[in-house]
Structure 1
């Protein structure tokens, strides 16, 4: 199995079909950026109510788009029906809080008590930012684990992860305004400027991804990130859980208008 990408399909439906037949296994950052992208979380039915409460308590961290019935791999959002076992380019599988596998197909790991959640993703912001004249790299942004924490109303709790995009100083207000209109992409930034204020000592050393550099007239702008629930899952003591692999998202049919 290679991770080289063919030509980008013209629609999310065509992309999902290519993912399902394994001709597309690459990241989704920077492609079809006029459409809603989503993070995936799968937990046992016994933990699903608690996870939904965690999402409701932290709506900008975990914008809850849709969830499935126990054991049903089909998830529906805004009229778009997807099979979450096969329509994400790559997955992560967790057992007893430890990362066990990173497969390209979740079907063999799907359980009768599995419940899937689709959560809004910051990749949804990139197209609107570009259309507003703010350059955004087509690769996935760097991700950092901060000193911020979520509101833990259940066993799910932990550190907040953020993605960072450098923004020209005179466009920061525009970036705030554009993304504030997109709650399904985490909405407005969670922090702007000095990374030390959120516990980050060295921007050049992200926890995930590659640091793109900060120009002399740029400000680091930080948005909530879908890695946060993955951190919470690792601490929740679940026998089983699954997520998307970082940067490999579920791309839905909803057009992002901002």
Structure 2
């Protein structure tokens, strides 16, 4: 059995990061190392960092900021002690002049002394709380990446960055929707409560079975699609804003930290 296939909800964050570092973990991290915070990454030159910080402050729902590194640092002790930001994610994306040009297994060869890492909260974190409460998370049950969609919902422009909201979707029946809202509201630092439920057309989504990122999942006739702000939003913003150079995680391929989920719960 490979190291990748042996990873599961009981795996430690260190084991998940090491598997990514060794090139053995290549798939999405949803459902791995349950109970620990997973984060989105946006890595920008220092010249762009102050502007992006203002953008995050203006749009905290899709861009909940958990940590910022020093320029050039590949570590961030607020996230983990044995961290290598350039190698501990299963897949990264490289952006040049507003275009995603490459998806790579590590970014050590792309690293620069002026790069600043932003760690943003991820909804994979609250999935552990949903499952602990007895709710089924469809993309985990089906072994798929969470479906994510571009929307028509405009963000607040700031710092030279602008664009529209990206959302992730999880279907639930009516009773479970209420419980899911209650649970995720406790976690504002990982997107918190949903931003929309029901008719996807009201937020500009025309084809629920054809996500812009991730994989499609089944939605039953008695289920309601529920949409959360998504950490892929900054990736679309980098494209829309035409940023000259940036690195992010590949959608669904997160950095798993040593921070317990419970540390982000409000109550």
TM-score, reference length from structure 1: 0.94
Question: How far apart, CA to CA, are the structure 2 residues paired with 1:181 and 1:83?
Answer: 30
Alignment CA distance shift 1:4-1:235 (3 Å): farther
Alignment CA distance shift 1:50-1:81 (3 Å): farther
- 1:5 CA drift (Å): 2.7
Per the alignment, residue 242 of structure 1 pairs with 247
Per the alignment, residue 226 of structure 1 pairs with 231
- 1:25 CA drift (Å): 2.1
Question: How far apart, CA to CA, are the structure 1 residues paired with 2:207 and 2:243?
Answer: 32
> Aligned-residue CA RMSD in angstroms?
1.7
Mapped contact 1:189–1:224 kept (Cα < 8 A): yes
Per the alignment, residue 130 of structure 1 pairs with 131
Moved over 6 A (4+): none
Question: How far apart, CA to CA, are the structure 2 residues paired with 1:252 and 1:172?
Answer: 28
Per the alignment, residue 26 of structure 2 pairs with 25
1:56 partner SS: helix
- 1:47 CA drift (Å): 0.5
Per the alignment, residue 99 of structure 1 pairs with 100
2:134 partner SS: coil
- The correspondence for 2:215, drawn from 207, 210, 224, is 210
Question: How far apart, CA to CA, are the structure 1 residues paired with 2:185 and 2:99?
Answer: 35
Mapped contact 1:90–1:104 kept (Cα < 8 A): yes
Long gaps (5+) in structure 1: none
User: How many positions carry a matched residue from both structures?
Assistant: 256
TM-score, reference length from structure 2: 0.91
Per the alignment, residue 6 of structure 1 pairs with 5
Per the alignment, residue 83 of structure 2 pairs with 82
Per the alignment, residue 117 of structure 1 pairs with 118
1:143 and 2:162 are equivalent in the alignment: no
